[in-house]
A and B are shown apart, each in its own frame.
Chain A
C-alpha cells in the first residue's frame, strides 16, 4: 500500500524513567502527519496506558507501529507473566500492580478500561508465563 510507515520501539520492564518514550515518539510522528488532534490524543493515551502496562508488568516488550492512510495500528508484544483472566483484567478497579507502580500514579485498575474507551478497536491475547499482545487500532477517516 502507498504511504505506509512502520516503526518499532523496545520497552524495558520496570524502567519507569523511560516509560512513555515510545508513546511520545508516536505522538510526534502523528503530529507531523497532521492527524486530527482529537484522534492523536485518543491514540497516544491508549498507547501510553499500554506502554505503562508493559513497564509495570512485563520483563520486556516491543511496540510495532503501522501507519497508513486508513489507520494507525499499534501492537505491543511483551514477554511476561501474561494475564490469566482477561475479562477480569478489563474490569474497572481490578489491578495486580506493585506498590512501585502505584507510587508512579498508576495501578488503580483503570488502564485497560481506558484503553478500550480511547481505542477504536482493542484486541488482547495472552498466555500465562509467556506474555501478552495488545493491538490498538485507530481509524483515521471516521470509521470508528
Chain B
C-alpha cells in the first residue's frame, strides 16, 4: 500500500517525508517495545507506535524502517523530526489509538508480519 493512502485512511498529519508518500509498504507492526521491533527480520515494514522518543527513530534506523506512525495523538519533538529527516524517514501523526489505527489499516488490506 502507498503511504499516501495510509495518510488518507488515518486522516494523519505528515510530519516529515512529504516528498516520499508514493513509497509503498509491505507489512505493518505495532509496538511500544523497541526491543520487539529490533527482532524483526522483514524489510519494508510500517511501524505503528505510541512511543515518541529519539530511540524510536534510532530503532527504526537500525531496522531499516522508513515509515513510522505515531498513534494515540502523540506529538513528536523537533529533535525527533530532525533525526527522522536525517534518515530520510516518513513520520506521520495520527489521533487514533494504536488499536483503531491497526484496525483501519488491517481492514484496508495492510498485512501483519505474523
Measured CB to CB, the residues of A under 8 A from B are 16-17, 19-20, 23-24, 27, 37, 41, 44-45, 47-49, 52, 103-108, 110-111, 114, 117
Query: Which residue from A41, A104, A110, A117 sits with its C-beta under 8 Å from B55?
Result: A104
Q: Of A45, A110, A114, A117, which is in contact with the most chain B CB atoms at under 10 Å from its CB?
A: A45
Given contacts A17-B79, A41-B63, A41-B64, contact A108 B35 (CB under 8 A): yes
Cα(A20)–Cα(B83), bound, Å: 11
Q: Which B residue's beta carbon lies closest to that of A110?
A: B35
Q: Of A37, A47, A49, A107, which is in contact with the most chain B CB atoms at under 10 Å from its CB?
A: A49
**Minimum C-beta distance from A28 to chain B (A):** 10
Cα(A48)–Cα(B56), bound, Å: 12
A110 close to B36 (CB less than 8 A): yes
A44 close to B35 (CB less than 8 A): no
A44 close to B62 (CB less than 8 A): yes
Measured CB to CB, the residues of B under 8 A from A are 32-39, 51, 53-56, 58-59, 61-64, 79
Give the A-B pair count, Cβ closer than 8 A: 68
Cα(A74)–Cα(B11), bound, Å: 43
Sample of 19 further A-B pairs with CB below 8 A, known A20-B62, A117-B39: A16-B55, A20-B58, A20-B61, A24-B58, A24-B62, A37-B64, A41-B62, A41-B63, A47-B62, A48-B62, A49-B35, A52-B55, A103-B53, A105-B32, A105-B51, A105-B56, A110-B35, A110-B38, A114-B38
A105 close to B35 (CB less than 8 A): yes
Query: Which residue from A45, A103, A104, A107 sits with its C-beta under 8 Å from B38?
Result: A45
20 chain-A/chain-B pairs, Cβ below 8 angstroms: A16-B53, A17-B54, A19-B54, A19-B58, A20-B54, A20-B55, A20-B58, A20-B59, A20-B61, A23-B58, A24-B61, A27-B61, A47-B62, A103-B53, A105-B53, A105-B59, A106-B34, A110-B35, A111-B35, A114-B38
B61 close to A114 (CB less than 8 A): no
**Minimum C-beta distance from B43 to chain A (A):** 8
